[in-house]
Structure 1
Amino acid sequence: MNLKNKSLIIRPETTLDYESISIVNDLAFGQQNEAKLIDKIRNSDRYISELSLVAELEHKIIGYIMFSWIDLVAEKNLKVLALAPLAVLPQSQNQGVGSALVNQGLLIADNQNIPLVIVLGHPNFYAKFGFEPSLKYNIESPFEIPKEVFMVKLLKSYQQDTCGKVVYPSAFNDL
């Protein structure tokens, strides 16, 4: 599929999109874990409807991104965002759909005075959006993983003393 000369629409999900979103995630990841995660987050207090976005092309959903609340725990708990999952139909990958979803989500988050976004992902992809290894800002991963894949994107309301250990809600336990 070639996206040239076609209008990609990025918009918040609606209940009518749920089945298509599950299909996009299942095909992109080759498993159902991410679709199950999305359902668990939607049914929790961690869900943010305006930050669950679809990419639509010619009335078909071809991509999806979800940002949801997680905790950054130190002397005080701070709610920050997790970016997970990001999925694009295999035939629509490497054409800017994922980048459009990330850019729109970060713009919305920045306008809501959220201090930062956490992602566990490919450094080469997420560095394009300003994500950096989280340890640079004394933000610890709850997982034993290579330090370069646990990243943070500072937004305009970030304050220098914002640090701690990330705690994911129980919805993430089955991944």
Structure 2
Amino acid sequence: MNTHHPWTTRAETSTDIATIRQITLAAFDRAEEADLVDALRRDPAWIADLSILALDDNGIPAGYALLTRAHIGDTAALCLGPCAVLPRYQKTGAGSAAISAGLDAARAMGEHFVTVLGHADYYPRFGFTRAAAHGVGMTMPVPEEALMVLSLDGEPVPRGVIRYAEAFGDI
């Protein structure tokens, strides 16, 4: 991964909505994740400053990361995802830049915990660890190594079942 690329990051604006949809469609080659982002924008779980774009040195949006409200048991937390990168920018640090900026923004807002359901070999670089080790789970079966959690401030992760925004459906 090229970590020296001059990525800049910023929160999305209303003019970025179509671009974010294009990035997400290109990254996943299907509509489910792009539709989820659109549905989350209309959900009470949406936190505008936690929808983050990574822009290349020409100001072109290349990567995207979204954090929305979730809960671990009764404790407020965030959910990371969907995250997406245009195929030509994958493995260049665009995704890492967007995720890191999102986590930093969440930390600055006083958030404590973030959950993610994703690649077990990717998210630990940001400090995520297996949720099961903290007594955190989901109501539906998922691969244990794919469900991870992060304490943004060192507070102990609460035990409990993750509840995602309604837009996520039955997960």
Question: Could you state the TM-score of these two structures normalised by the residue count of structure 2?
Answer: 0.92
> Which residue number in structure 1 is paired with residue 107 of structure 2?
110
In the alignment, the residues of structure 2 paired with residue 44 and residue 4 of structure 1 have an alpha-carbon distance, to the nearest angstrom, of 34
Question: 8 Å contact 1:118–1:153 — kept in the other structure?
Answer: yes
In the alignment, the residues of structure 1 paired with residue 3 and residue 165 of structure 2 have an alpha-carbon distance, to the nearest angstrom, of 39
Are 1:139 and 2:125 an aligned pair? no
Question: 8 Å contact 1:132–1:151 — kept in the other structure?
Answer: yes
Q: Which runs of 4+ in 1 moved over 6 A?
A: none
- Tell me the alpha carbon deviations over residues 129-174 of structure 1, each in whole angstroms, 9 at most, x when there is no partner: 111100111111232011010000111162x372110011220117
- Tell me the alpha carbon deviations over residues 105-143 of structure 1, each in whole angstroms, 9 at most, x when there is no partner: 111112222121000001111011111100111111232
Structure 2 CA distance for partners of 1:107 and 1:5, relative to 1, 3 Å: closer
> Which residue number in structure 2 is paired with residue 70 of structure 1?
70
**What is the percentage of aligned positions where both structures have the same residue?**
31
Q: CA RMSD in A?
A: 2.0
In the alignment, the residues of structure 1 paired with residue 3 and residue 37 of structure 2 have an alpha-carbon distance, to the nearest angstrom, of 30
Offset, 1:4: 8.4
Mapping of 1:17-166 within 5 angstroms? 17-57=16-56, 58-73=58-73, 77-156=74-153, 158=155, 160=156, 162-166=158-162
SS in 2 for 1:124: coil
Offset, 1:35: 1.1
Question: 8 Å contact 1:113–1:157 — kept in the other structure?
Answer: no
5+ residue gaps, structure 2, are: none
